[in-house]
Amino acid sequence: MTIKTISTTIFNDQKPGTSGLRKKTRTFMGPHYLENYVSATFTAIGGGAGKCFVLGGDGRFFNRPAIQTILKMAAAQGAARIIVGQGGLLSTPAASHLIRLNGADGGFILSASHNPGGIDADFGLKFNAANGGPASEALTARIHDATLAIKSYDIAEVDDINLDTVGQTRIGTMVIDVVDPVADYSDLMASLFDFDAIRALFAGGFTMRFDAMHAVTGPYAHAILEDTLGAAKGTVVNGVPSEDFGKGHPDPNPIWAKELMDLMMSEAAPDMGAASDGDGDRNMIVGKGTYITPSDSLAMLAANAHLVPAYKNGIAGIARSMPTSAAADRVAEALGIPCFETPTGWKFFGTLLDAGRVTICGEESAGTGSHHVREKDGLWAVLLWLNILAARGKSVAEIQADHWQRFGRNYYARHDYEAVESARADNMMAHLRAQLDSLPGQRFAGLNVTRADDFAYTDPVDGATSAAQGIRLFFEGGARAVFRLSGTGTEGATVRLYLEQFVKQSDYAAPVEQVLEAVRAAALEISDLPNLTGRSRPDVET
Ligand code: G16
């Protein structure tokens, strides 16, 4: 094996965001771009010599060539072993599991998650640590520093590796194990849930549609839902991963999974609808005629988790990202367990999960997960819902209705203003920050501000601090508005406005928009968003 040292120059835009580095695919395909970032990652972890890594992605355009490059660079580092998913495929939760199962030193996951794929769309790469979770803030900072210092990188000069056949091969002394991407993950799911009860549910006529959105979850869903649990063939739709996700936007929400939503709101609706995203870590749950918000799903799963084998002894605690609604907080209170509020980004749950302080975590951005891996897990959430439905013998809508009766309802919506000129978005955030001290006591759109801050977090386990994580505006009567800039976009800035209103009454029939109108109006007035960003309405409302 010949190792070549290639001279390179730095790129100024390789700062990892909420979840690794996400850029336009053509940017990643440019000379040295991927290689610089991979090399910087190796530098940041003290080199790859003698180490074992997991490698795989969501199958989007450029997945395969990128995997070949990473394999050759790992060989040049002197890595001992790489475990790679057959065809280069691994869902993000499956990659997290493989890292943990094999005691690997970390993993490279190629995905831009829910962002579209294709040569003119998005690509991404993130590094997960030995606990199976996304790199910590400290590690991503070291990676970024290394991208700004790089002068050369090493790569083995060898032919491409066959990724399509399960088995072992080598580059020099580095062992490459091409593994079935589904098998170990499927075993893990079987160990957590009562598969017999879910089998009996399907055998009893329960119907479901799972939309894999042409993304990586297809093979997992076919194997687990249809082949193992007996859901009718055809339950899984769009189940073959494609490089451009069937030209779709693999984001499981009512906008991008519209076909599924339309079906679930129609007479022909099956008992449950679900969808997952590009890399299989997000999920959407829909009942007949009713949508479960991700924030509610977290709360409902936490409240019912004890009905499922893996959580039968109860859960230690719950964690939710700050913009996620406070529905889970009320469940934690009722269960007498702690609820942690962390910044956006799954990485912030890692220390809490590792320390055993929380069992279930979730985010408004359609992510839920538990201590079984260190990523959010789309199919896990679907299976947990199925197991709860089987145990309670109730419908999705009945479980939702029971939950609201017991805990009250956090009406919730997120408004996204996409591809806003970065300077204008920054200006709006600065405008908000400048007012924080003077807002309490003032009245906007009929709502009194009780508190306003820029969310800061100190990790209760390792003491790490993260400032400026989003502007929170609290109003009298249980309303809250949050403003933050997305950390996963690839074009300009995406302003996210999260709206919430807690209501406890006997009837929850009022439409979401109506309940949230006052807090929306107050948030827009305080932020001056329409004027400062030039946007009169959001691009996406979920
Ligand atoms: C990533 C992170 C999530 C985060 C989400 C949204 O999800 O893993 O923890 O909630 O981004 O981030 P933002 O609001 O900054 O765009 P994924 O599914 O894209 O990896």
pTM, entire model: 0.95
- Structurally, the chain folds into a number of domains equal to 3
Please name the residues in contact with 133: beta carbons below 8 A apart, sequence gap of 6 or more. 96, 346, 347, 349, 350, 353, 354, 374, 375
Closest C-alpha among 155, 151, 152, 150 to residue 4:
155
State whether residue 342 is helix, strand or coil: strand
Closest C-alpha residue for ligand 1 atom 7: 19
Query: Are 203 and 88 members of one domain?
Result: no
In angstroms, rounded to a whole number, what is the distance separating the alpha carbons of residues 166 and 526? 57
User: How much is the pLDDT for 147?
Assistant: 98
Atom of ligand 1 nearest to the CA of 375: 8
Continuous segment of H or E residues that includes residue 321: strand 318-321
Ligand 1 centroid to Cα of residue 171, in Å, is: 35
User: How much is the pLDDT for 321?
Assistant: 98
User: How much is the pLDDT for 490?
Assistant: 77
Domain boundary among 181, 199, 214: 181
CA atoms within 13 A on the CB side of 70: 33
The residue range of the domain holding 154 is 2-181
Ligand 1 neighbours (beta carbon < 6 A): 18-19, 113-114, 281-282, 321, 344-346, 363, 365, 367, 486-488, 496
- Separation in Å, CA 508 to CA 107, 412, 504: 45, 13, 9
In angstroms, rounded to a whole number, what is the distance separating the alpha carbons of residues 538 and 542? 10
Query: Are 97 and 205 members of one domain?
Result: no
Tokens representing residue 540 in the block: 């996406």
Query: Are 247 and 259 members of one domain?
Result: yes
- Report the CATH number at residue 388: 3.40.120.10
Continuous segment of H or E residues that includes residue 199: helix 195-203
Domain boundary among 347, 373, 407: 407
Query: Are 304 and 210 members of one domain?
Result: yes
Atom of ligand 1 nearest to the CA of 18: 15
Alpha helix ranges (H) inside 206-254: 217-221
Query: Are 71 and 84 members of one domain?
Result: yes
Query: Are 394 and 456 members of one domain?
Result: no
Q: What are the residue numbers of the active site? A: 113
Query: Are 23 and 151 members of one domain?
Result: yes
Closest C-alpha among 340, 488, 520 to residue 413:
520
Closest C-alpha residue for ligand 1 atom 6: 365
Phi, psi of 257 (to 5 degrees): -105, 45
Ligand 1 centroid to Cα of residue 367, in Å, is: 8
Query: Are 306 and 431 members of one domain?
Result: no
Ligand 1 centroid to Cα of residue 113, in Å, is: 8
Tokens representing residue 483 in the block: 């403003």
> Are the C-beta atoms of 422 and 493 separated by less than 8 Å?
yes
Q: What is the β-pairing status of strands 122-128 and 540-541?
A: unpaired
User: How much is the pLDDT for 489?
Assistant: 77
Domain boundary among 151, 181, 211: 181
Query: Are 168 and 217 members of one domain?
Result: no
Query: Are 310 and 206 members of one domain?
Result: yes
User: How much is the pLDDT for 507?
Assistant: 87
Q: Which residues of the chain have pLDDT under 50?
A: none
Pick from 18, 58, 113, 484 the residue to mutate for probing ligand 1's pocket: most ligand atoms within 8 Å of its CB: 18
Pick from 110, 114, 344 the residue to mutate for probing ligand 1's pocket: most ligand atoms within 8 Å of its CB: 344
Residue 464: CB atoms within 10 Å: 13
Q: What is the β-pairing status of strands 52-57 and 81-89?
A: parallel
User: How much is the pLDDT for 380?
Assistant: 98
Query: Are 222 and 89 members of one domain?
Result: no
Ligand 1 centroid to Cα of residue 535, in Å, is: 23
Beta bridge partners of 453: 472
In angstroms, rounded to a whole number, what is the distance separating the alpha carbons of residues 428 and 444? 18
User: How much is the pLDDT for 318?
Assistant: 98
Ligand 1 centroid to Cα of residue 270, in Å, is: 29
336-345: long-range pairs with CB below 8 Å, 24+: 340/460, 341/457, 342/457, 343/455, 343/457, 343/466, 343/469, 343/470, 344/18, 344/469, 344/470, 344/484, 344/487, 345/18, 345/19, 345/134, 345/321, 345/487
The one-letter amino acid at 142? R
Ligand 1 centroid to Cα of residue 344, in Å, is: 7
Atom of ligand 1 nearest to the CA of 134: 8
Query: Are 149 and 237 members of one domain?
Result: no
The one-letter amino acid at 226? E
Closest C-alpha residue for ligand 1 atom 19: 113
Closest C-alpha residue for ligand 1 atom 1: 19
Closest C-alpha residue for ligand 1 atom 3: 345
